Amino acid sequence: MTHSEGFANHPTPLEARSSGPLTGKVRVPGDKSISHRALILGALAVGETRVSGLLEGEDVLNTAKTMRALGAQVERTGDFAWSVRGVGVAGFAQPEVPLDFGNSGTGCRLVMGAVAGCPITAIFDGDASLRGRPMRRVLDPLALMGARVGASGEGGRLPLTLHGARDPLPILYRTPVPSAQIKSAVLLAGLAAPGVTTVIETEASRDHTELMLKHFGAQIVSTRDGSHGRKIALTGQPELHGAEVVVPADPSSAAFPIVAALIVEGSDIVLSDVMTNPLRTGLFTTLREMGASIEESQLRGDAGEPMAQLRVRASKLRGVEVPPERAPSMIDEYLVLAVAAGFAEGTTIMRGLHELRVKESDRLEATAAMLRVNGVKVEISGDDMMVEGKGHVPGGGLVATHMDHRIAMSALVMGLASDKPVRVDDTAFIATSFPDFIPMMRSLGAELS
């Protein structure tokens, strides 16, 4: 049985109601992007990598399983603490079973890159949602490096068989769209190639892979290219060494309690160790432009990633225009930003949201439907979304989540401050990224039942 069938057979609906002020101090789960990469680079390194603060959601646990299937020793040593003993660059073993990534596009695409540089064959698969997502953009550059796709679903979709390159070639590749997943797949394949593999992007995408490769001992240089772009050059065939990785709290997960505290009157919460990498904090920038009170303190860093404690207080928000070049730094956060926009005074315009159409669901349409069914006026024009804020949200709607964890959490956040309760058809998928979301929100005072 696939994950999605399991969820579909046992939907867990939930209702969020207007609650009193949210208060307290919490640490949201570890960052998903860093958790995936710590396991994959730990598996490609020599020696032991110790990871603390790992996100133990299903997506990351599936990456851990696939690293085991590829020959690395991966074990849980305590709460959110993991040990990985790697096999070295290009050292993956032929897996005896298909690699099942469940719902995780990130895990799947990054591991495609890592496998592409090894002389092995692996079958990549996932749940119904992941099987519907396009893989061609990642497979195209990997083919240039010598990897070959055998059998695959329609249009290069999962399940697919990937034959890694016996002698991978270094390439210079310009990404067709700003995508950390495409860039990371090319760089991970490039580890096994002699010479320098170069990725050029016209708009800088998240740089977690580059920062962590450096942390594990790779020679990698990132320079500006044009007004918003980057050129990343990786010297191939390094010996990566095991490293200590402290996973910061995920800003994409922090987005939900942050917006909840901003819209629920009288709220005052503190979130610890939240990643503040500027390529991930477009939401914080936007919310501050809308008038949000978000204060940073206790700044520190680990594995190249900065983190800080955030104090968030209820704020009167106003509509703003969010420029398209900010999209890569907050692509997962537009859903909950749309909720904040509903409670703001005036219209919020979000531009350049094409990538939302190829996520777990068509998130652009699903976000608009979530707002409309709860009385908020919203328009989509091309890749732009306009939300007309009236300072309050009527609520009273039933939200269809389309097996999408972020739609479910965004809708529940909306219900905490709307005039009438908001119901969500299924919350089972929240476990993929934020297993403790519901108990954590209740601990802050949220009314969820």
Check: CB of residue 337 under 8 Å from CB of residue 283.
Answer: yes
Q: Which phi and psi (to 5°) does residue 61 adopt?
A: -60, -35
Report the 10 Å Cβ neighbour count for 148: 14
Let me know if 79 is a catalytic residue: no
Check: CB of residue 304 under 8 Å from CB of residue 211.
Answer: yes
Name the one residue in this structure whose structure tokens are 């777990």: 360
- The SS3 of residue 309 is strand
Cα 106 from Cα 183, distance rounded (Å): 12
DSSP-derived secondary structure for 379-441 = EEETTEEEEEEESS--B--EE--TT-HHHHHHHHHHHTTSSB-EEES--GGGGGT-TTHHHHH
As to burial, measured by CB atoms within 10 angstroms (0-12 exposed, 13-18 middle, 19+ buried), residue 401 is buried
Name the one residue in this structure whose structure tokens are 């990132």: 222
From the candidates 59, 332, 404, 426, which is the catalytic residue? 332
Q: Just list the catalytic residues.
A: 332
